[in-house]
Amino acid sequence: MNPSGVSAKASVPGYDQLSDDKKNELKKLETACNDFESIFVTQMMKEMKKTVHKTGLVSGGMAEDIFSDMIDQERSKTAPIGVGQILFKELARAIVPPTRKPR
């Protein structure tokens, strides 16, 4: 299961009736969307930290910067904001077009 708690199976109507190729494509797309969201959140946190004034009371130098970046990367994987899920739902339409209900 992905970090956001929503799987391709739950997001795509008729997932069980799809071919194995389509299911594999959806899984790859889901992974790519989650990875994109992780990178996006990491960059967003990095830019947000630039706006915070440092007091100079505690200065860890380069080691602190590296550790802080590593923490941000891990947090971004476990704290999704929903961008990956929205992106997946939109892009999944290219793999599995929505079906129209007969009137």
Q: Is the pLDDT of residue 52 over 90?
A: no
At residue 102, the pLDDT reads: 61
Q: What is the pLDDT of residues 91-101, one digit of tens each?
A: 998 888 777 66
- pLDDT > 70: percent of the chain: 86
Helices 61-78 and 20-50, interaxial angle, to 10°?
A: 140
pLDDT at 103: 63
Average pLDDT, the chain: 82
Residue with token string 């997946």: 88
d(CA 88, CA 13): 13
> What is the pLDDT averaged over residues 26-43?
92
